[in-house]
Structure 1
Amino acid sequence: MSTLTFQTCKDNTTLSWLCEEEEVWGKAASVLEQAQNVYAYAMLDHAVCFGTWTSGQLVLGLDGRPAPLQSLRYVQELRLFHAEGEFKAVRMEAGEKFRCRYRLDQPVEEQGKQLHIMDEQHKLWGACRKGTDEMGWSLLESGRGTKLYIPMALPEHGEAAVQVRHYIQMNQLNPGTDVESENDSIPLNRNKPGTGGEFDESVNPFQYVDERLVTFAVWTQKGGEG
């Protein structure tokens, strides 16, 4: 895991739906119509893989080659991500429906709660033994025997990571602090002698809002399994 990066932004646009399996493609295509360089993460019944999304076409790296995916029948979770946002669809326990959401990092002028963003890199298991192939994909192979075919150019023996972004809402627990919040219902221990209006320690000072994938990155840290 890499060094964490923090920044502040306005609450971004978040859309959510409950979709039938056949509706997911249309929802994804509508929100990603203007997005550039969209990558994919899919958790299937039998594998976890990465891929690309281009003009409504989903291609996943399966068995060491890019393979178009025409159906979500064996998909448990799908993420289509780019630098500014992510479309996420998770199959519900009932089976045929997906819970979908689209998070876009475009700031909302004069609106929204203030969010704190924390970025980190998660290393992908394995190293690229043979370098990038003619299609611009790289096969990561680990000493454990796992293989992961990703749409990213890597040098021979290169390693990769996926950037993950966390969204955190800070809650103002004590008047006079410099942390802004729209939550006015945080209880204060004003009735407790000697507290001086200090906040209730049982109340969490922050709220975890969401997380998403952002992009791929070259892994440069030493250590870990290659």
Structure 2
Amino acid sequence: MTPARFPRAVLFDLDGTLLDSAPDFVATLDAMLVERGRAPVNPAQLRPVVSKGSRAMLSVAFAELEAVERDALIPEFLQRYEALIGQHAALFDGVAGMLDALDAAGTVWGIVTNKPEYLARLIVPQHGWQQRCAVLVGGDTLAERKPHPLPLLHAAQRIGVAAEDCVYVGDDERDILAARAANMPSVAALWGYRLHGDDPLTWQADVLVENAELLQLADPWPTRPAAPAQP
């Protein structure tokens, strides 16, 4: 029986929440820059935008290019990233223990990310999550992606848990917006990637947590009343 302090299900963002993938992206962009005779990217400049996706990261490494020229680099960026995925990335401190605690409690957990699904699925076996991660929804799995609530609602349906009985954990404002729109309690992961000047207090998450170890000890976890029945 699940202890009262754990929800029935927890859904996580991936990059910046479970996985510190910034080092992989630094290596990817450095390979692209070196091939073009350019200096390596500044990791401190790249890190805050990792959760914003490939366009944001390319805008840091190739700031002088027009948007359409940077967009043309996305296929190369994804191909190079796929070739080295997981070689430099690591779980954030406390994540492994947090997931162990959820497993021990009988809480179902899964991943809802804006990362393309085929790339996210390469990461799952690297951490032995094949039999542990109950659902994985990528940014291209459905017609919509976060901050639209559809990926969260789809994940909850797949695991057979009502949205209000899940908790969504993410490090970006769009994670919290998606959770709110899905009537799903939310946790802002303050250990993740964040733009300079971003104020997580303005995201209106149900709970803000400094690190994954504290999330494991959260008592109580956030809750949300059930959505009203349709007439």
TM-score bracket, normalised by the shorter chain, equals under 0.3
Q: What TM-score results when the alignment is normalised by the length of structure 1?
A: 0.24
| Larger strand share, 1 or 2 | 1
Larger RCO of the pair (alpha carbons < 8 Å, separation 6+): 2
Q: What TM-score results when the alignment is normalised by the length of structure 2?
A: 0.24
Larger-gyration structure (1/2): 1
| Larger helix share, 1 or 2 | 2
